[in-house]
Homo-oligomer: A and B are copies of this chain.
Amino acid sequence: MSKNAISNSVIRRLPRYYRFLGELEKNGYDKISSRELAEKMSLTASQIRQDFNCFGEFGQQGYGYNVSELRRQIGIILGLDSKTPMILIGAGNLGTALASHLDFGSVGFRLVGIFDTNKEIIGKKIGDIAITDIERLPDFCKTAKPVSAILCVPDTAVEKTVESLVNLGIRAFWNFTHCELHSDSEDIIAENVHLGDSLTTLSYRINSEKH
């Protein structure tokens, strides 16, 4: 079965399965039934079986899933062993927080460079990586060949930044700006993070309780 046929909502659930299975592993679980996993994740057992069936047979009827093996297989599907080279554009507060707190290696990436236009912070280190002047990006790309970028630039700079990054061979964007990038253009893959949507959901939950 082609992976491209898998629905977006299944894909969105995979990282959560992977995370939950990691917790189970840590807590000493060897195997788990779809019913038990469903309860823990607030899903239905049939939903879980359907999701996993998209990728082949993971469990055995009446036995349940082997936690480590299931996690390993989902990790392969997610490409977590690939260590895709990634750069950060924009080392303000948000960029700095992402570069210092995220474990890129565990989610399929390798942070290889950090770039900014602000001369005052150039040379400063975030973890092991020194912030570099964005003017040096073209040379950097020739040797390091990053294919993905985190966008933490002002909204006014997005269009120009994306254009020049695409010209330098970068095709995948983790986008924290307020400008939505569209993946449907054939050249780029974009994951737009809308933190405001998450906060809006919290607003709904608080207010729906009042009625």
CB distance from A66 to the nearest CB of B (A): 21
**In the bound complex, do residue A206 and residue B147 qualify as a contact, i.e. CB atoms below 8 Å apart?**
yes
Chain B residue at minimal CB-CB distance from A104: B199
Chain B residue at minimal CB-CB distance from A172: B206
Does A197 count as interface, using CB distance less than 8 angstroms? yes
Chain A at the B interface: SS class: helix
Copies of this chain present in the complex amount to 2
**In the bound complex, do residue B195 and residue A199 qualify as a contact, i.e. CB atoms below 8 Å apart?**
no
Contacts of A174 in B (CB 8 A): 198-199, 202
Give residues 154-209 of A contacting B (CB, 8 Å).
172, 174, 183-184, 189, 191, 193-209
* A: contact size bracket: 35 or more
**Interface with B: A30-38, A74-82, A112-120, A133-141, which one?**
A74-82
Apart from the given pairs A92-B97, A191-B201, 10 other A-B contacts in the complex at a CB distance below 8 Å: A14-B200, A14-B201, A15-B201, A79-B204, A93-B100, A97-B97, A107-B200, A108-B200, A148-B202, A148-B206
